[in-house]
Chains A and B, each alone.
Chain A
């Protein structure tokens, strides 16, 4: 951004710059240390963890924790639940949110201020746990249904406002030209606006996907049937559950060794964050963009 003049740094400034590099470098290392620890120890043998504790580089490696976890039925069904909820939820949420945001951003809509206020109000005065719980569990009867994990997150006011601020930047002439050509608002939105809005749609989709992937609150409230437990719930169960072996659900004849408790916990965590860490280099910039738009305009 700036074309710098030739920098003639004094001694205290050099010292400061050195401190800056050290501080940022250390902060970065501390940020990824827990990732390293979890990933590398998921490949450690249970006896190595028991003998030496969690280590930066384990003494003894083993794939047994993964074999044990993957042999069970729970990881497959939890993966399926999480993927289903994330994919269906994200698609529906993005569709509903973008349609709603377009109307809120449209200058011809007279009641857009009222709609905006209705949306904003839910952020400052919430219904809270009890009303929400009764609605999902009793009124809608969604206990032990995957819809209980999908429906409550379909319109996030914050993401809606990110989209509103994007739609407002589109030139209104597009709209006028299409109207003269005889297109109605529905076809303008789906045929013209959506295709040119891919950057913001990608950003908001990823925010929604991350929310669905990482959520355990809804499952904690509404899912008792372990066959419908998403991955996050599986982690919670194997952290707190005494009987890991029956929960993970492998056939008992397969195992002559003891259940690798730490191993299963760490392996499940790695399998859960795997897709995120793998996609991270590609998706990071979309999040940065979304956060920036949301913060500066919201």
Chain B
């Protein structure tokens, strides 16, 4: 009965954890039974347990009609772009900010660059619209004043991966550069001093001291991103693209697809099958990449 003894001994501490634990059970663990719906023909009246068991029919539907291929590819491709360009530019920014000695310039620049992190995707969407809308957007007006033809960006699916990447970098470069910068300022100044005495240039210092020493931070951030590569940013994609079906070809990700299946079509079972597919793929990815990270660099593994 060591369990009861432990609880009794620290009853106040467990009492403190109780609301949080109850929250996790209700909001994170009980909903896991929603995955069962993937194998059932769910009807609200029958409830979760009463609905008819249909095996893998819901999965068949998703995998047979080619949707799975499209949304999976979009999710991986967009997240891949976000990860590479987001982290890449943040790293460059952090290295550059670290070179700047002019304190006021540095502080202001950092404040400006971090600012987009604070606003919602719907506000971002409105900002994007101010640039891109066909009749009065700044981009089209500029094209027009230069003698070009207006372009209806909201019908051109092929340009949106680039636009979304641009928006992602704009919103998160500041955030990630803070992490990189924290790692850089953590490097002991002695390394640079002795490098300088040996006659190393700034470039050499960046390539031979700074970059190797923030490698593990970069790996961890990359790994966190790769671990979530099957999860599209719903708020971002739905906030900016919304219900514009003209852009689905390149922007429809697993999360927006399941949302529509649930909220627009009201098909709980189909949506649930896709969600389960996503959760399982996500779990596999994170385990695989964690193993790889452990091989590369023991400190970088997440667990």
Decide yes or no: A127 and B23 within 8 Å by CB, A27-B93, A41-B130, A295-B179 being known contacts: no
Decide yes or no: A130 and B20 within 8 Å by CB, A1-B185, A240-B242 being known contacts: no
Closest-CB distance, B294 to chain A (whole angstroms): 16
Q: Is B72 an interface residue (CB 8 A)?
A: no
Interface string of A119-140 (1 = CB under 8 A from B): 1101011111111111100110
Could you tell me if B283 and A125 are in contact, using CB atoms closer than 8 angstroms? yes
Could you tell me if A291 and B141 are in contact, using CB atoms closer than 8 angstroms? no
Residues of B close to A151: CB separation below 8 A:
27
Could you tell me if B125 and A131 are in contact, using CB atoms closer than 8 angstroms? no
**How many residues on the B side are at the interface (Cβ–Cβ under 8 A)?**
106
How many contacts A-B (CB < 8 Å)?
291
Could you tell me if B201 and A100 are in contact, using CB atoms closer than 8 angstroms? no
Could you tell me if B138 and A38 are in contact, using CB atoms closer than 8 angstroms? no
Instruction: Give chain B interface residues in 244-281, CB to chain A under 8 Å.
Output: 255, 258-259, 262-263, 268, 271-272, 275-276, 278-279
Interface string of A185-196 (1 = CB under 8 A from B): 110010000000
CA of A25 to CA of B97, assembled, Å? 10
Could you tell me if B96 and A24 are in contact, using CB atoms closer than 8 angstroms? yes
**A23, A31, A126, A130: the one within 8 Å of B116 (CB):** A31
Decide yes or no: A103 and B179 within 8 Å by CB, A131-B35, A236-B122, A239-B126 being known contacts: no
Could you tell me if B24 and A118 are in contact, using CB atoms closer than 8 angstroms? yes
Could you tell me if B120 and A215 are in contact, using CB atoms closer than 8 angstroms? yes
**How many residues on the A side are at the interface (Cβ–Cβ under 8 A)?**
102
CA of A2 to CA of B192, assembled, Å? 8
Interface string of A150-181 (1 = CB under 8 A from B): 01101100001000000000000000000000
Residues of A close to B10: CB separation below 8 A:
106, 108-110, 185
Q: Is B84 an interface residue (CB 8 A)?
A: no
Residues of A close to B221: CB separation below 8 A:
295
CA of A120 to CA of B303, assembled, Å? 10
**B96, B137, B255, B279: the one within 8 Å of A125 (CB):** B279
Residues of B close to A281: CB separation below 8 A:
111
Closest-CB distance, A147 to chain B (whole angstroms): 12
Q: Is A273 an interface residue (CB 8 A)?
A: yes
CA of A41 to CA of B127, assembled, Å? 11
Residues of A close to B303: CB separation below 8 A:
120
Q: Which of B61-69, B75-83, B170-178 contacts the other chain?
A: B170-178
Could you tell me if A37 and B275 are in contact, using CB atoms closer than 8 angstroms? no
Could you tell me if B283 and A124 are in contact, using CB atoms closer than 8 angstroms? yes
Q: Which of A14-22, A67-75, A197-205, A250-258 contacts the other chain?
A: A14-22
Residues of B close to A55: CB separation below 8 A:
138, 141
Q: Which of A55, A102, A103 has the most CB of B within 10 A?
A: A103
CA of A106 to CA of B11, assembled, Å? 13
Residues of A close to B207: CB separation below 8 A:
none
Residues of B close to A63: CB separation below 8 A:
none
Q: Is A57 an interface residue (CB 8 A)?
A: no
Residues of B close to A99: CB separation below 8 A:
16-17, 19-20
Could you tell me if A232 and B120 are in contact, using CB atoms closer than 8 angstroms? yes
Decide yes or no: A185 and B202 within 8 Å by CB, A125-B282, A135-B27, A273-B119 being known contacts: no
Known A-B contacts: A10-B201, A21-B102, A292-B179. Give 13 more (CB < 8 A).
A30-B170, A31-B112, A31-B170, A100-B21, A103-B13, A129-B258, A130-B258, A131-B275, A154-B27, A217-B235, A236-B122, A236-B242, A265-B129
Which residues of B are in contact with A by a Cβ distance under 8 Å?
Answer: 6, 10, 12-17, 19-21, 23-24, 26-35, 37, 44, 48, 92-93, 96-97, 99-100, 102, 105, 108-109, 111-131, 135-138, 140-141, 170, 173-175, 178-179, 182-183, 185-186, 189, 192-193, 196, 201-203, 217, 220-221, 227, 234-235, 238-239, 242-243, 255, 258-259, 262-263, 268, 271-272, 275-276, 278-279, 282-283, 286, 303
Pairs across A and B, CB under 8 Å, 21 listed: A12-B201, A16-B99, A34-B130, A37-B131, A97-B20, A100-B16, A103-B17, A120-B303, A124-B282, A128-B279, A129-B258, A135-B26, A155-B27, A214-B118, A215-B120, A220-B238, A235-B122, A235-B126, A281-B111, A288-B114, A296-B186
Which residues of A are in contact with B by a Cβ distance under 8 Å?
Answer: 1-3, 5, 9-10, 12-13, 16-17, 20-21, 23-25, 27-32, 34-35, 37-38, 41, 49-50, 52-55, 96-97, 99-100, 102-104, 106, 108-111, 115, 118-120, 122, 124-135, 138-139, 151-152, 154-155, 160, 184-186, 189, 210, 213-217, 220-221, 232, 235-236, 239-240, 262, 265-266, 269, 272-273, 276-277, 280-281, 284, 287-288, 291-292, 295-296
